[in-house]
Chains A and B, each alone.
Chain A
Amino acid sequence: MKSKSNGKDFCTFALPGLFCFLAVVIVPFLYGVYLTLTDWNGVSRDKNFVGLKNFVGVIKDTQFWSSLLLTFRYVIFVVIIVNVIAFAIAWLLTRGIKGQNFFRAGFFTPNLIGGIVLGYIWQFVFSRVFVSIGDSTGWGAFEASWLSDPGKAFAALVIVSVWQLSGYMILIYVAGFMGLSEDVLEAASIDGASGFIKLKNIIMPLMMSSVTICLFLTLSRAFMVYDVNLSLTAGAPYGTTEMAAMHVYEKAFTSRQFGVGQAEALVLFIITACISGLQVYLTKKKEVEA
Chain B
Amino acid sequence: MTQTTIGGTRKKVINALMMAGLIIVFIAYMFPFIMVIINSLKQKRDIIKSPFSWLFTIKGLSFDNFVKAFTQMDFLNAFKNSLIVTVSATVLVTLLAAMLAYYIVRHKNWISSVTFSLMVASMIIPFQAIMIPLVSIYGGTLNILNHRLTLIFMHTGFSMAMSVFMFHGFLNGNIPIALEEAAYIDGCTHSQTFFRIVFPLLKPIISTMVILNALAFWNDFLLPSLVLTDKKLLTLPLSTYSFYGTYSADYGTIMAGLLLCVIPILILYMVLQKQIINGVVAGAVK
Contact = CB atoms under 8 A, between A and B. Distances in A.
Task: Please tell me whether chains A and B touch each other in their complex, using a CB distance cut-off of 8 A.
Answer: yes
B250 to A, nearest CB: 11
Contacts of B169: 209-210, 212-213
Nearest to B220: A114
B137 interface: yes
A140 interface: no
Contacts of B219: 112, 114
B229 to A, nearest CB: 18
Contacts of B6: 189
A18 B170 CA distance: 19
Interface in A99-121: 101, 103-118, 120-121
Interface residues of A, number: 94
Given A179-B173, A266-B129, A6 B107 contact: yes
Interface in B171-211: 172-174, 190-191, 194, 204-205, 207-208, 211
A117 B258 contact: yes
A203 interface: no
Given A112-B266, A117-B36, A213 B26 contact: no
A220 B133 contact: no
Interface in B25-70: 25-26, 28-33, 35-36, 51-52
B13 interface: no
Interface in A110-142: 110-118, 120-122, 124-125, 128-129
B39 to A, nearest CB: 8
Interface of B: 1-4, 6, 15, 18-19, 22, 25-26, 28-33, 35-36, 51-52, 96-97, 99-100, 102-104, 106-107, 109, 111, 115, 118-126, 128-130, 132-134, 136-137, 153-154, 156-158, 160-162, 164-166, 169-170, 172-174, 190-191, 194, 204-205, 207-208, 211-212, 215, 219, 221, 237, 244, 249, 251, 254-255, 258, 262, 265-266, 269-270, 273, 276-277, 279-280, 283-284
Given A28-B137, A213-B169, 8 more contacts: A14-B99, A14-B100, A17-B100, A85-B25, A106-B26, A163-B29, A175-B170, A224-B124
Shortest Cβ-Cβ A-B pairs, 4 listed: A24-B157, A265-B129, A17-B100, A17-B96
